[in-house]
Structure 1
Amino acid sequence: MAFDLNGMMGKVKELQDKMQQAQDQLQHLTATGEAGGGLVRATANGHRQLLKIEIDETLLTPQDRDMLADLVVAAVNKALTDVAEQARVELQRQTSGLMPNIPGLDLGNFGG
């Protein structure tokens, strides 16, 4: 059985093209994380960029300053975690069947 280098190179090129297409689509994925029962909401995209922060006006007082900072961090981290999982699933879906399952090869962090 001869090794088909041209066939393998074609598969690699196809994988690269699919990965680029998937990366381009990640900007359209969004996730919103909430903290404080929805008092703070953060929205991020599949490129792990923060798009929007929404803060309930009841938190905009000097005495709530420290709590507000904690809630913003929690909401942003939740949004980034959720959108990273969506991106991992999308990349996996886009490249399904193009590469053999190689132990130790993790394409899930391709976008990060």
Structure 2
Amino acid sequence: MNMREIMKAQQRLQKLQEELEQSQFSGSAGGGAVMITMKGNYEIIAVKIDPEAVNPEDISELEGMLLAAARDAFGKVAEAQQKMFSTLTGGIKIPGLF
């Protein structure tokens, strides 16, 4: 790979990262009772909780759903990042990237 190709790849990576950071990913739990939305840079931008999911006598259930929804959203961002790098590298795995 020559210097020109490296520069093009860096520019493309930067563009893809910017697009990913502006993308939104939603994770849910409890059949949609809890939704967490985050950007591609893992910034949480919204949390929605169905009032029916709130049982003051069992807060641990709501906490579990919040955790599950967050993990779901994080997983979707990680998957999108992996696809982005795979597209950039033509499917070749580069040690240390993913």
Is the structural similarity TM-score above 0.5?
yes
Q: Which amino acid aligns with 1:48?
A: Y
Give the 3 Å change call, closer, same or farther, for CA 23–107 of structure 1 in structure 2. farther
Q: State the percentage of identical aligned residues.
A: 26
Query: d(CA) in 1 for partners of 2:19 and 2:96?
Result: 16
Q: Which residue does 2:80 correspond to in 1? A: 86
1:19 equivalent in alignment to 2:8:
no
Q: Which residue does 1:63 correspond to in 2? A: 57
Give the 3 Å change call, closer, same or farther, for CA 73–62 of structure 1 in structure 2. same
Q: Which residue does 1:38 correspond to in 2? A: 32
Deviations 1:50-79 (A, max 9, x none): 121110112333213111111000001001
DSSP 3-state at the match of 1:63 = coil
* Alignment RMSD (CA, Å): 2.3
Structure 2: runs of 5+ lacking an equivalent:
none
Tell whether the 8 Å contact from 1:22 to 1:90 is kept in structure 2 after alignment. Answer: yes
Query: d(CA) in 2 for partners of 1:20 and 1:39?
Result: 36
Tell whether the 8 Å contact from 1:48 to 1:84 is kept in structure 2 after alignment. Answer: no
Query: d(CA) in 2 for partners of 1:45 and 1:106?
Result: 25
* TM superposition score normalised by structure 2: 0.82
* Number of aligned residues: 98
Structure 1: runs of 5+ lacking an equivalent:
1-6
